[in-house]
Structure 1
């Protein structure tokens, strides 16, 4: 079977789950991972016949996609802020929106001062690793309550040659480390459980505890993070948060009540309110 015919199978059999453009991107990602083809080479080699082994491999990959396995888990990696991070079912897949949060933060600081930075709920380590890679002089600490996620994050940090202080900490605990920080950043769980019914099947293959929050307390992580930041941020320290669009105005209010200033709301590339930044005192 040729590359063109295999691609046609993908386009046909995945049409009920993805758009044609999404299927095309997934196919290109698989060709890059398993055939070493760039997107341009895929087009140039459509008439190339695959070996029996490669044909069987691509049909198996197609079956995984039909079973709603995320493409990033199939490949085992994702590119985030120009870094390659390994991902699997233990961690949330890093999103382009979170890249925007990282770039926004980096645009405000250079590498001169050895700032103390905390990433709360690090997951795969994407935010902490991207920050440390771009600002080697910073002292970056990353918290997570999930030991499996921390194992992945530590592996990704080593793979990308950065040193980060990873700690097992639950931000919902009453007693948190008495450490002062210049920057606190977090992308905590924020999607209300009521939206689970409308969430695509492949997203539901990701760790639900890293996505959804109780309908009765959708702001629980933000309340704890902001309270901690108000106690532990240095003067003129900053907090950067990613959040759920319908709740961003409420986050603004929480930050105001906690005596933060210079509060800025920012849209993501889809024009949804997604990020908020504030300075302390």
Structure 2
């Protein structure tokens, strides 16, 4: 098939991806990113002739998408909180839900505040970089157990000219010296191994397993953090974390049991699922 316009090219791509039980919208996303178009540009040009070079590139892209390769890995970048970030198979693809965690922190503090912020399990650096941009007077430290992920995060920091301190290691062991922070944030692994059977093919086969799965039904990281986080927060400090939509009761119980004097607040995302927690050491904080 040789399409005569952009609309025909997309129809071909949609049919192919549906045959493979994959999201057909990924083809439209890749096409727009390659052309640096927005949806409006596509609507205005859908009946225009598609240049040969664009069609050839689009064919190659769609054939790769048909293998299950995520569009962001194909392009080598993803968008998060208005930032274009490099991503590859060493890093999770940042999700819109995590932007809501960043927004929660942003609305909790004044932008000029000189905060000390720690992002645990930074991956591509998405949360750390978004917070550094929103709180330019703050010092931000980002850690990850994966050296390959930190390489990507460091490249993103350089590209965006946002100074971040990066440290490699597991949880607190990554910190080179004892420190206390105003804000600690993390989007940790929280998927139980038992959930593999119902997971999206592209996520399961392409994104890094160490950033997805955790023991104890996905709760191991929260249990570990809950028993130690008070040592790393200032008295008025807060911990912000993302979790799976079915985990809210367990998350509440974990933090209330380990930190009985703390204020534990669960927040719902835009889809009205409970997806975020804030743990404030002092009930009068924030």
Q: Distance in 1 between matches of 2:257 and 2:84?
A: 39
Q: Distance in 2 between matches of 1:174 and 1:7?
A: 46
Which residue pairs with 1:13 in the alignment?
Answer: 16
CA contact 2:266–2:278 (8 Å) conserved in 1: yes
Call closer, same or farther: CA 1:245–1:34 in 2, change over 3 Å. closer
- After TM superposition, give the deviation of residue 277 of structure 1 in Å: 0.4
CA contact 2:143–2:174 (8 Å) conserved in 1: no
Q: TM-score when scaled to structure 1? A: 0.92
Q: Distance in 2 between matches of 1:147 and 1:158?
A: 17
Which residue pairs with 2:165 in the alignment?
Answer: 165
Q: Secondary structure at the match of 1:245?
A: coil
Q: Secondary structure at the match of 1:269?
A: coil
Encode CA deviations 1:80-132: one digit per residue, 9 max, x unaligned. Answer: 11111111111000001100000001100013331111100000000000000
Encode CA deviations 1:181-230: one digit per residue, 9 max, x unaligned. Answer: 1111111000101111111111121111111123x463221122222311
Call closer, same or farther: CA 1:174–1:41 in 2, change over 3 Å. closer
Q: Secondary structure at the match of 2:171?
A: coil
CA contact 2:112–2:136 (8 Å) conserved in 1: no
Which residue pairs with 1:248 in the alignment?
Answer: 248
Q: Distance in 2 between matches of 1:174 and 1:240?
A: 19
CA contact 1:172–1:221 (8 Å) conserved in 2: no
Which residue pairs with 1:4 in the alignment?
Answer: 7
Which residue pairs with 1:224 in the alignment?
Answer: 224
CA contact 1:111–1:138 (8 Å) conserved in 2: no
Q: Distance in 1 between matches of 2:119 and 2:171?
A: 11
CA contact 2:113–2:135 (8 Å) conserved in 1: no
Q: Distance in 1 between matches of 2:53 and 2:178?
A: 56
Q: TM-score when scaled to structure 2? A: 0.90
Which residue pairs with 1:46 in the alignment?
Answer: 46
CA contact 1:31–1:38 (8 Å) conserved in 2: no
Q: Distance in 2 between matches of 1:233 and 1:125?
A: 21
Encode CA deviations 1:108-167: one digit per residue, 9 max, x unaligned. Answer: 001333111110000000000000001011111011010010000011111111111100
Which residue pairs with 1:212 in the alignment?
Answer: 213
Q: Distance in 1 between matches of 2:160 and 2:227?
A: 32
Q: Distance in 2 between matches of 1:100 and 1:76?
A: 23
Encode CA deviations 1:221-248: one digit per residue, 9 max, x unaligned. Answer: 1122222311121101101010122222
Unaligned runs of 5+ in 2: none
Unaligned runs of 5+ in 1: none
Q: Distance in 2 between matches of 1:272 and 1:4?
A: 35
Call closer, same or farther: CA 1:12–1:184 in 2, change over 3 Å. same
Call closer, same or farther: CA 1:112–1:243 in 2, change over 3 Å. same
Call closer, same or farther: CA 1:14–1:242 in 2, change over 3 Å. same
Aligned residues: 277
Which residue pairs with 1:152 in the alignment?
Answer: 152
Which residue pairs with 2:182 in the alignment?
Answer: 182
Which residue pairs with 2:271 in the alignment?
Answer: 270
RMSD (Å), alpha carbons: 2.0
